[in-house]
Amino acid sequence: MIELRRVSFAYPQRPVLTEVSAVLAEQRIGIVGGNGSGKSTLARLINGLVRPTGGQVLVDGLDTHRDLKQVRRRVGFVFQDPDLQIVMPTVAEDLAFSLRPRKLPADQVRQRVEQTLAAYGLQEHADHPAHLLSGGQKQLLALAAVLITEPAIMVLDEPTTLLDLRNRRAVMRVVAGLPQQVVLVTHDLDVLADFDRVLVIDEGRIVADDTPGPALAAYRRLAEV
Amino acid sequence: MRPKDIALIALFTALMCVLGLTPRIQLPLLPAPFTAQTLGVILAGGILGARRGFASMALFVLLVAIGAPVLVGGVGGLGMILGPTGGFIIAYPFGALVTGLLIERWWPKLNYLTAFLAGFIGGALVLYVIGQPWLITVSAKVSLADGWWSWIVYLPGDLIKTAIAAGIIVTVKKAYPLITPRRTDATPAAA
Amino acid sequence: MLSLYQPGTSPVHRCPAWVKLLAMLVLGTAAFFLTDLRVLGAGLAVVIGAYAVARIPIAAAWKLLRGVLVMLVIVVLAQGLLGDWPTAAQVGIRLLLVIGLANLITLTTTQTAIVDTVERIATPLRVFGVRPDRIGLLIALVFRFIPVIATEAARVREAHEARGVRPGLSYLAPLVIRTLRMADGLGEALEVRGVGEDDPPRRRGARVRG
């Protein structure tokens, strides 16, 4: 469960989020908002990539300021640009890299890497340079590299924005099948139709918080003004 | 080192390697064409600052040493470092360090002229001071005094590359500043 | 992976990296104190023999040597013209010996083996705040991002040409800025994947996100 208690975040000259409060317990939560609305910052607060300048963010009772390391192990994060998330030269090495902080024995690492490769259809690319993968395969690898650490919650910040339609669907299929709680920031409103809850962010505040139908209607009205 | 610093150091080093692959450019006044890689040392110090610039160029030298073909012409290896011009390669991190220290000191009022000066001192003078004695004494057996002035042949090229690098440093300062200025009154005295 | 390594199973290949590096250090240093042409010549013959034992293709050896050859010729000529020719021969053979040896190590040792050795040698540098275990990560990151930045460079050049800007160095500033922007995303990606989580904690508030 994710709990935001009067959370604010500001750069020295510029407020980004202002006293946001919410308890996020549903399995599938969408976040929508315009460019610069603060939605990406909200997503980053959940795993401590951004620490609040006011208020508190709790993940299963753990504070992102105080218990950062435990929060990070619980919350996996996927970014928009697949290229920047892959940090090792080859596919298998990149998956193994995620397990480094766990300090597991080598054979366990190998076993989990193989399982993960198979689960996401990347076996044949195991030793390929990541550079040669397609955009969609890269994003699947980025997703797999997070899932290999078995986080309890997945936060995804516009994971499909840079992909074509076919790859969007491939990535969203994987996301839809995840057993984890999912928090998805997206401009792709269609995929939110079967979500449990959607938050609409505007100018650093939650302006609508509802089931997808009413929330997305509110978001569309906002865009028309 | 923050993860962001690790990212900056690695990406800049990768950029340095890519610049070694770019087509050679023939400039007026220069006997030999050069590639953009020769600008890397000045840019590393002038854009990343002293600490990260030094680390990035040290990483580049290490890549050469472990046999990555990242020098201009697709060569590398320990032989390049132990060869006659190896002193110039070894000097890269120190050149970046000196340029970075000067840029940090002059940061608040940095302009084209001060950027040029910082680039020339770090990217040319420091390289001569380390590279020339190496070239002259370690590899050949010419006396240092006899061979010293041969660096004059590099001067036109170094002036041009410093002029280009200074322009980039000033542009990047406006578009994407990364350096925190080094205050002249030094750090607060330790209690 | 970007490498000049020539795979093989010869004794030269199997020799541990630290032994080869130590041998180079000792022989390289010794060569600078030797003046007898016959001894230097014998040394060079041994190095050439080692290439044969390692079964290095001549083309691969030549490609590496070519990189330093121009400078080597200049140094030898300068020595001969400014000094005397026997010394010039001495200088030439000595350089060939040392460079040949260094190149042989490059050709017969995997980068991983050298990086491991470097990390071990760098361990005492911990005192100065250097993290030897970061060296391997940094090298891997560079290899990962060389193709990414090369693609980026091609894009920037295309954009310039599309707008009729003459090809030259004008693409450099935008390329540098794009590279620096990438560091924001890569820094975050490294952070969520656990890089830096074992670092000593910084003071609260010391960190300003940019």
ipTM of the complex: 0.90
Is the CB of residue B42 less than 8 Å from the CB of residue B119?
A: yes
- Chain centroid offset of residue B3 CA: 23
Provide the residue ranges of all domains of chain B, joining segments of one domain with +: 3-175
Lowest mean pLDDT among A96-110, B18-32, C16-30, C82-96: B18-32
Residue B158, C-beta contacts closer than 8 angstroms, at least 6 positions apart: B120, B123, B124
State which H helix or E strand residue C178 sits in: helix C172-192
User: The domain B3-175 is classified under which CATH number: 1.10.1760.20, 3.40.50.300, 2.130.10.30, 3.90.230.10?
Assistant: 1.10.1760.20
Residue B175, C-beta contacts closer than 8 angstroms, at least 6 positions apart: C173, C177
Domain-located, residue C72: yes
The total of other beta-carbon atoms located within 10 Å of residue C138's CB is: 22
Output the six-digit token pair for A134: 């397609």
B109/C contact by beta carbon, under 8 A = no
C37/B contact by beta carbon, under 8 A = no
Q: How far is A214 from chain C (nearest CA, A)?
A: 34
Asked whether the predicted pLDDT for residue C97 surpasses 50, the reply is yes
C39/C106 same-domain check: yes
- Choose the final residue of a domain: C61, C90, C121: C121
Asked whether the predicted pLDDT for residue B6 surpasses 50, the reply is yes
B43/C contact by beta carbon, under 8 A = yes
Domain-located, residue C200: no
Q: How many distinct structural domains can be found in chain C?
A: 2
B101/C contact by beta carbon, under 8 A = no
Q: Name the CATH architecture for the domain at A2-224.
A: 3-Layer(aba) Sandwich (3.40)
C61/C93 same-domain check: yes
Lowest mean pLDDT among A81-95, C9-23, C104-118: C104-118
Domain-located, residue C204: no
The model's confidence at residue C111, banded by pLDDT at 50, 70 and 90, is confident
Instruction: Judge: C182–A86 Cβ closer than 8 Å, yes or no.
Output: no
C153/C178 same-domain check: yes
C39/C96 same-domain check: yes
* Euclidean distance between CA atoms C55 and C65, whole angstroms: 16
Beta bridge partners of A181: A153
- Choose the final residue of a domain: C121, C138, C166: C121
DSSP letter, residue C203: P
pLDDT tens sequence across B59-88: 999 988 887 878 876 777 888 888 888 888
* Euclidean distance between CA atoms B42 and B119, whole angstroms: 5
Instruction: Judge: C148–A131 Cβ closer than 8 Å, yes or no.
Output: yes
Rounded-to-5 percentages of helix, strand, coil across chain C: 75, 0, 25
Nearest CA in chain C to B43: C176
Residue B43, C-beta contacts closer than 8 angstroms, at least 6 positions apart: B12, B165, B168, B169, C176
Q: Which residues in B lie closer than 8 A to residue C148 (C-beta atoms)?
A: 14
B25/C contact by beta carbon, under 8 A = yes
Max avg pLDDT among A166-175, B79-88, B152-161, C32-41: A166-175
Q: How far is CA C108 from CA B33, C6, C58, in A?
A: 33, 6, 14
**Residue C145: which domain range?**
127-192
C59/C158 same-domain check: no
Domain-located, residue C37: yes
C79/C164 same-domain check: no
Asked whether the predicted pLDDT for residue C146 surpasses 80, the reply is yes
C30/C81 same-domain check: yes
Tell me which chains share at least 3 CB pairs under 8 Å with chain B: C
C2/B contact by beta carbon, under 8 A = yes
3-state SS assignment for residue B38: helix
Domain-located, residue C209: no
pLDDT of B75 reads 73
C50/C105 same-domain check: yes
Q: Which residues in B lie closer than 8 A to residue C173 (C-beta atoms)?
A: 167-168, 171-172, 175
Provide the residue ranges of all domains of chain A, joining segments of one domain with +: 2-224
Domain-located, residue C4: no
Residue B75's φ and ψ, nearest 5 degrees, are: -115, 170
Global pTM? 0.85
